[in-house]
Structures are given as structure tokens and as C-alpha cells.
């Protein structure tokens, strides 16, 4: 899948004689006659992921020169046609067959320590054996099979070296790539259909209510049912001691064409937007689990998305692995990194048969097909201070690339509202006292906005009537705040507006 970073394979290629670290290495352009057709398989979103995640493959930067995909993006954002005539000069060439790229993860202590998925079990045991270092924990042979027996809220439980206690889909570029987020939802969907689920223990309802309170404060709408007299989403979860979480970079990431419910069903509920687990904001591990780890000196594991230096995610997780969102879900289901996904089952399905990794893993074709077949313009419903956080720039670009046309929020973070306008997205505010909850909006409706087709008839701050396909109607305030912002919107975004002005001035 796209998230299995081709640059990690390049990193392995750079280890060959004649290659030097410390240089800048660029993927050639698609229309460079000296390369094959492999580049045509990398979408714009995949390129953005690869370029942004350069620390994960040990590079200073990831760079894609101008080529046909670049021109397609320029056309998508309203720029004029034209092929730049640029002679590209490279000091040397390194061959990489994209057919050799395979699923991998990174760890257990550094983001650029690549581990092919097929070698993960062997690499894990080597790490237990090795002396303490980036790839070692120095666990004596006689202690490697230790089983920690403990009482997990009234239920007998066991922990071993390599058990996963945190599984987090985090808010870096991985979650802004629609293909990998949809891939994680498809993994969850298949797992749920096959019966790879465990019920919430009663204690987890308390933790869940904390999540629900946070979601209510942020204006996130999730369908709920009563469960043991406690209000909770209609979900089941993976291994009960695995602390699961989903923290996208922006609100639109969790609206995965109706498939987000399967992530919820496995316990991957929204805990917030922006940086969480990777900067140490994973929160506490359950006390019973924490005691089992410390009293037995266990090397517990965490699966996350962006940074994995020891002690950064959590002081009790010494083995920290980076994985794509679909792999985070798969390892959460397995409950351990000490597994060979090719030969060992992840669990047992509802029919009593073993379920393997291959049974739940979607193909690339299934993810493009799903994304294209269900693709349509999107309207985001949000709460107060929508857009707050450290990822405001990409949080505006991401929705634009995902087809978001408007955001209706209680209020906006100042800079992010400007960024949305700059991407050609319409910002609207609910009237005072109204929001998605009071208007009983679920996010599954289709919305029509009563905006004049001629931008000269639109005024900053005017009222806009919104009508849904189920007969609801309400009024919002249009948050184009200046005439300049209206001009940007008229041109499809700030880049188009600026470039056209420059062309006009030149002529």
C-alpha cells in the first residue's frame, strides 16, 4: 500500500557501496526519459506522505521535482496549462524497482531503523538478545518467555515481552493521506465482519466516558447507544489492555466514506486532533497493566505513526514501533509484535477458524476503487475553535484534496479560517445557540448552500441558508471576512489569485 514507504527501500539501497549519506537524493521526475514507469504509480497524496516523512527513512529531506503529476496538481488548483522545459542534472542514479517495495515498520527505538514485516518476529527476538542499544534490550534467554500473571479488573490476564499496550493512529501526514486512512478502515471492516472483536470490560466505560466528554466539547458527532446503563458508541474493542486511539490531523480525516464506524468498533475512537501519542500525550496506561510491566521488567510495545525514541511515547513502553494506520490496526488485533503475520493467525473468527493477516489486508486496487467509487464533495460539521493545533497549513490543504467544499463550525481558529479560504473552502458559522447537536445533524445528510453563483453578489458576513436532503433548513453566517478573501474564493484559492494577478500585472 502507499503507506509502505518506498524511500525506506531507497535507504536500504543507499547502504550499497558507492552511495553516500549526507547528500540530497531526489526521485526523478515522471517524464524523465531515463527512468521507468514506476513513478506513475505514486499519487500526489503518496508523494506528500513520502516527502514529509523523511526522518522515518533517515533522510534530511524528500524531494520530487516538477513532472506531470505536478502539472496535474497545478491544473487542479486553477493554474494554466504548460510543460516546463527544464534540463535536470543528477550527479548519479540509483535504481529502485517499486516491485521490490514491501510492507515494513520502524523501530524499536529510532524512526529510520527499518524492519520488513516478514522479518519482524525474527528481528524482535534479536532485539531481546542484543546488548542494550538502539536495537537491543539485553533480556536474558531464560527470561524471554516470562509470563506475567495479573488481575485485570476482576479477570485473570497475562502479559509477555512484546505485548502491545498502546496502538495509536496519529496525526502526522499518514492520516492526511486518504488512501491509508481508508485502508485502516477497510482492515477494521474486514476484521469486524470476520468476528475479530472483544467486548469492553466494564472498567473501560469510565475511560470511554472521558473520551465522550472531550468529543462533546469539540462538537464531534458519533451515534451512541445505551450499554450497561452507560452512554457509549455502538462498539466493541481489541485486546482490552491495548490502549487504542485515533487522533487525525483534521476533522475530515475521520469521515472515511462511512467506514469510520469500523475503527470505532475496534476501539479507535477520536481522542483529539493534532499531536498526541508521538509527543508523549498518550496518557496513563491502566494501573494493573503498568504494575505487571514494572514488576516483571517486561518490554512492552507501542504502535504509532511518527516518532519512536525510547521514553518519548510512554516511560513504560520500551519497544516503540512506527507503522502505517492499517498496520497499527492489525497489530492491535494481534496484541503483540512477537508474531509472524505470514504463518501465525491474528485471532479466531466467529466461525471458529483462524484469521490471518492476509484475510484482513486490503489490496491497493480495493483502496483506489473504494475511494473513487464513493468520492463526492464533502461538507464538514465542526465544533468550537475548529482548526486549533499545530498543523493548520496541511489541515487546510488536506480537506481541499479530499474534496471538502465547506466547513460549518461553531467558531474557527483565526489562522485556520484564513487557510481554508486560501484553499477555496467556504467557512460558515452556526448561529448563536445552534450547532450540529441542537439541529440534530448526523453528518450523513447531503447539504445544499444557497450562495449566489456570481461572487459580486456575495457580501462578507452575510447569512446563508443551508438545506439538507432530509428536509432540515437552518441559517449560517458566511465567514468570508474581507473583499480580498472573496476574491481568493472567486479564483479557487489564494495561489490561483496571486498567480493570475502577477500574470495580469506582467501584461
**CATH number of the domain where residue 413 is located:** 3.20.19.10
In a domain, 122, yes or no: yes
80 shares its domain with 115? no
Segment 429-483, tens digit of pLDDT: 999 999 999 999 988 888 999 888 888 889 889 999 999 988 899 999 999 988 8
pLDDT at 1: 39
Which CATH number characterizes residue 191's domain? 3.30.499.10
310 shares its domain with 425? no
The tally of domains found in the chain comes to: 3
90 shares its domain with 131? no
The more confident residue out of 257 and 295 is 295
Segment 250-271, tens digit of pLDDT: 665 555 556 678 888 888 888 8
The more confident residue out of 41 and 247 is 247
End-to-end CA distance of the chain: 46
410 shares its domain with 315? no
Q: Is the pLDDT of residue 341 over 90?
A: yes
pLDDT at 143: 92
Top-confidence range, 55-69, 160-174, 371-385, 389-403: 160-174
Side-chain half-sphere exposure of 321, counting CA atoms within 13 A = 33
Question: Which string of b and e fits 96-128 if b means at least 16 CB within 10 Å?
Answer: beeeebebbbbbbbbbbbbbbbeebbebbeebb
Do 317 and 302 contact (CB within 8 A), yes or no?
Answer: yes
Q: Is the pLDDT of residue 14 over 80?
A: no
Which CATH number characterizes residue 38's domain? 3.40.1060
How confident is residue 204, by pLDDT bands cut at 50, 70 and 90? very low
94 shares its domain with 125? no
Q: Which residue segment(s) compose the domain that 447 sits in?
A: 378-506
Q: Is the pLDDT of residue 414 over 90?
A: no
Residues 6+ apart with CB under 8 A from 324: 1, 3, 4, 103, 174, 180, 183, 184, 305
Among 101, 131, 165, the domain-final residue is 101
Mean pLDDT of 235-245: 68
How confident is residue 313, by pLDDT bands cut at 50, 70 and 90? confident
93 shares its domain with 114? no
Among 293, 324, 345, the domain-final residue is 345
Residues 6+ apart with CB under 8 A from 248: 169, 171, 175, 176, 181, 254, 270, 273
- List the grid coordinates of 74: 497545478
Residues 6+ apart with CB under 8 A from 304: 166, 167, 168, 170, 277, 278, 313, 320, 321, 322, 323, 328
Neighbours of 225 (CB within 10 A): 9
How confident is residue 70, by pLDDT bands cut at 50, 70 and 90? confident
Q: Is the pLDDT of residue 125 over 60?
A: yes
pLDDT at 450: 86
Amino acid at each position: 500500500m502507499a503507506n509502505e514507504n518506498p524511500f525506506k527501500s531507497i535507504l536500504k539501497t543507499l547502504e550499497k557501496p558507492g552511495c553516500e549519506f549526507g547528500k540530497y537524493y531526489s526521485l526523478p521526475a515522471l517524464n524523465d526519459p531515463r527512468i521507468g514507469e514506476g513513478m506513475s504509480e505514486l499519487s500526489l497524496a503518496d508523494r506528500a506522505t513520502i516527502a514529509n516523512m523523511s526522518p522515518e527513512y533517515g533522510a534530511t529531506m524528500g524531494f520530487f521535482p516538477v513532472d506531470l503529476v505536478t502539472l496535474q496538481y497545478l491544473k487542479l488548483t486553477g493554474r494554466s496549462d504548460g510543460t516546463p522545459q527544464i534540463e535536470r542534472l543528477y550527479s548519479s542514479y540509483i535504481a529502485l524497482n517499486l516491485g521490490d517495495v514491501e510492507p515494513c515498520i520502524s523501530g524499536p527505538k529510532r524512526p529510520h531503523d527499518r524492519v520488513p514485516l516478514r522479518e519482524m518476529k525474527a528481528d524482535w527476538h534479536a532485539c531481546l538478545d542484543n546488548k542494550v542499544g538502539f536495537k537491543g534490550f539485553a533480556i536474558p534467554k531464560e527470561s524471554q518467555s516470562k509470563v506475567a500473571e495479573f488481575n485485570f479488573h476482576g479477570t485473570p490476564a497475562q502479559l509477555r515481552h512484546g505485548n502491545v499496550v498502546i496502538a495509536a493512529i496519529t496525526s502526522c501526514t499518514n492520516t492526511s493521506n486518504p488512501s491509508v486512512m481508508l485502508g485502516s478502515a477497510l482492515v477494521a471492516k474486514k476484521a469486524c465482519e470476520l468476528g475479530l472483536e472483544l467486548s469492553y470490560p466494564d472498567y473501560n466505560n469510565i475511560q470511554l466516558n472521558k473520551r465522550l466528554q472531550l468529543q462533546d466539547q469539540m462538537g464531534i458527532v458519533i451515534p451512541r447507544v445505551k450499554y450497561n446503563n452507560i452512554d457509549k458508541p455502538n462498539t466493541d474493542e481489541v485486546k482490552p489492555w491495548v490502549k487504542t486511539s485515533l487522533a487525525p490531523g483534521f476533522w475530515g480525516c475521520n469521515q472515511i466514506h462511512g467506514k469510520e464506524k469500523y475503527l470505532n468498533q475496534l476501539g479507535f475512537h477520536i481522542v483529539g486532533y493534532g499531536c498526541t501519542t508521538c509527543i508523549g500525550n498518550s496518557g496513563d496506561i491502566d494501573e494493573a497493566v503498568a504494575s505487571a510491566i514494572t514488576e516483571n521488567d517486561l518490554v512492552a510495545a507501542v504502535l504509532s505513526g511518527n516518532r519512536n525514541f525510547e521514553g518519548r511515547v510512554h516511560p513504560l513502553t520500551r519497544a516503540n514501533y512506527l507503522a502505517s494506520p492499517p498496520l497499527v490496526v492489525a497489530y492491535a488485533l494481534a496484541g503483540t509484535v512477537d508474531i509472524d503475520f505470514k504463518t501465525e493467525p491474528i485471532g479466531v473468527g466467529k466461525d471458529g477458524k483462524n484469521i490471518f493477516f492476509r484475510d484482513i489486508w486490503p489490496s491497493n486496487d480495493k483502496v483506489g476503487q473504494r475511494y473513487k467509487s464513493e468520492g463526492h464533495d464533502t461538507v464538514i460539521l465542526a465544533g468550537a475553535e475548529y482548526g486549533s493545533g499545530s498543523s493548520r497549513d496541511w489541515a487546510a490543504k488536506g480537506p481541499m484534496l479530499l474534496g471538502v467544499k465547506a466547513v460549518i463550525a461553531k467558531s474557527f481558529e483565526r489562522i485556520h479560517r484564513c487557510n481554508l479560504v486560501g484553499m477555496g473552502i467556504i467557512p460558515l458559522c452556526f448561529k448563536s445557540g445552534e450547532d450540529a447537536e441542537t439541529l440534530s445533524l448526523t453528518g450523513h445528510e447531503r447539504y445544499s448552500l444557497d450562495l449566489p453563483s456570481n461572487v459580486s453578489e456575495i457580501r462578507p458576513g452575510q447569512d446563508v441558508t443551508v438545506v439538507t436532503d432530509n428536509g432540515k433548513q437552518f441559517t449560517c453566517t458566511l465567514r468570508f471576512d474581507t473583499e480580498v478573501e472573496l476574491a481568493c474564493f472567486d479564483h479557487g484559492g489564494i495561489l490561483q489569485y496571486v498567480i493570475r494577478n502577477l500574470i495580469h500585472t506582467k501584461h
